[in-house]
Homo-oligomer: A and B are copies of this chain.
Amino acid sequence: MTNSLDRALRERALRVVPGGMWGHMHAKDLPEGYPQFFARAEGARLWDVDGNEYLDFMCSWGPVILGHHHGEVDAAALAQLQKGDAMNGPAQAMVELAELMVELIPHADWAQFEKNGTDATTTAVTIARAGTGKRKILVAQGAYHGAVPWCSPSLVGVTSEDRAHILTYTYNDVDSLNAAVEAAGGDLAGIIASAFRHDYGQDQELPTVAFAQAARAAADAAGAALIVDDVRAGFRLDLGGSWERVGVRPDLSAWSKSIANGYALSAVTGNDRFRAATQSIFTTGSFWCGAVSMAAAVATLTILRRDNAIAHMEAMGTALREGLAALSASYAIPLRQTGPVQMPMVLFEDDADRRKGFAFCAAALKAGVYFHPQHNMFLSAAHTGADIARALEAAELGFRAVRALAPVAA
């Protein structure tokens, strides 16, 4: 494994990009040896600029759901690109995509499109305020809904007024939710909740039925909007929206990431109660009508349904989880595996400093498997049983590396 080209690019980047990189893809948050720059991707594999090949369990942090360069999606995108992408208005693909989402998503009477997941969550919050004439938004403590001042995980450059109307609750804690509703008084515009609890570096939690129902009831009682942030999980758990699994339908949902298998797109869907409010706000972007990403999304969602891809990802995710659990038992190194199997979070017990997780991932990376030590990972429809077997071989090297760690001085 060499990394000389990656190192050279990092040095060049340091001169012309602050810190050499920014945001969630900055390799500084990853173990030594992880590449920063990538050259190529195909199916469940990607290659860094030095030519090292990896079996990919991040899927571009979510967007790639059918595998990198899915032939049918790329063909649909290229066919649209031959015609037009950014034009003076949308193409027919916009209508087709909105119709398909309304068909697939039970709560959706309509859809509207943007570029970033943050665009979708911010638009949903604005719609909730416009539709209710109220201001308070309830957000789960520690949840990630984007990287702009109202929701950024960092307060640097953010003013207190940016969060003046944000109140927090604890995910899956009905009492804390109800306390936040009470704190909002008569000014509750909306409750936003992630598809499930997938906070950085934390054990994941699926929503309980009681929590989801309480959120629905609280929104209904106040005339507020229930918003599910399905940006990260959308289309991996249920094509109709992740909360279909708990039988609760939101008023508004935010989508992005996997909607177009890596082409840049996001969406808000909503019910008729918020149709007029959506029409009343102003939101737009230079590239939001780009037809290529919409054609790619139509193809992606169509293939996900046709191929029953979620069942495949669940089967592969289950095989990975069971294999890791067996290795964990045989090495007597306890793991916590949480959340849906197709979005695995793998954390080591007694590993607050991530020493074990980093050693595990660094060893697996050397064996050609790209895991993440503290963010949830992603399966795609391109992962095969043979891939999972190979991942488990690499994981075994990871467990050996953890076993070999020097004990921490007490």
Contact = CB atoms under 8 A, between A and B. Distances in A.
A117 interface: yes
Interface in A148-170: 148-150, 152-154, 156-159, 161-162, 164-165
Contacts of A37: 89-92, 94-95
A115 B264 CA distance: 9
A148 B122 contact: yes
A111 B25 contact: no
Contacts of A392: none
A285 B88 contact: no
A112 interface: yes
Interface stretch (A54-62, A237-245, A345-353): A54-62
A87 B112 contact: no
Contact size range, A: 35 or more
A247 interface: no
Contact of A38 (B74, B81, B91): B91
A81 B74 contact: yes
A86 B153 CA distance: 23
Nearest to A285: B116
A49 B165 CA distance: 44
Given A25-B90, A64-B86, A83-B40, A115 B116 contact: yes
A85 interface: yes
A148 B293 CA distance: 22
A284 interface: yes
A399 interface: no
A62 B285 CA distance: 12
Interface stretch (A127-135, A215-223, A328-336): A127-135
B16 A95 contact: yes
Given A9-B95, A84-B38, A22 B287 contact: no
B17 A111 contact: yes
A388 interface: no
Interface string A18-58: 11011111010000000111111100001001000000101
Interface stretch (A173-181, A255-263, A379-387, A401-409): A255-263
A84 B40 contact: yes
Contact of A115 (B15, B85, B156, B287): B287
Given A25-B89, A88-B58, A112-B17, A286 B63 contact: yes
Contacts of A126: 149, 156-158
A248 interface: no
Contact of A370 (B15, B88, B130, B157): B88
Given A88-B56, A281-B156, A13 B94 contact: yes
A81 B36 CA distance: 19
Interface of A: 9, 12-13, 15-19, 21-25, 27, 35-41, 46, 49, 56, 58, 60-64, 68-69, 74, 78, 81, 83-92, 94-95, 98-99, 101-102, 109-112, 115-119, 122, 125-130, 135, 147-150, 152-154, 156-159, 161-162, 164-165, 231, 256-257, 262-264, 270, 275-291, 293, 370
> Which 4 pairs across A and B sit closest by C-beta, in order of nearness?
A23-B284, A130-B157, A264-B287, A154-B282
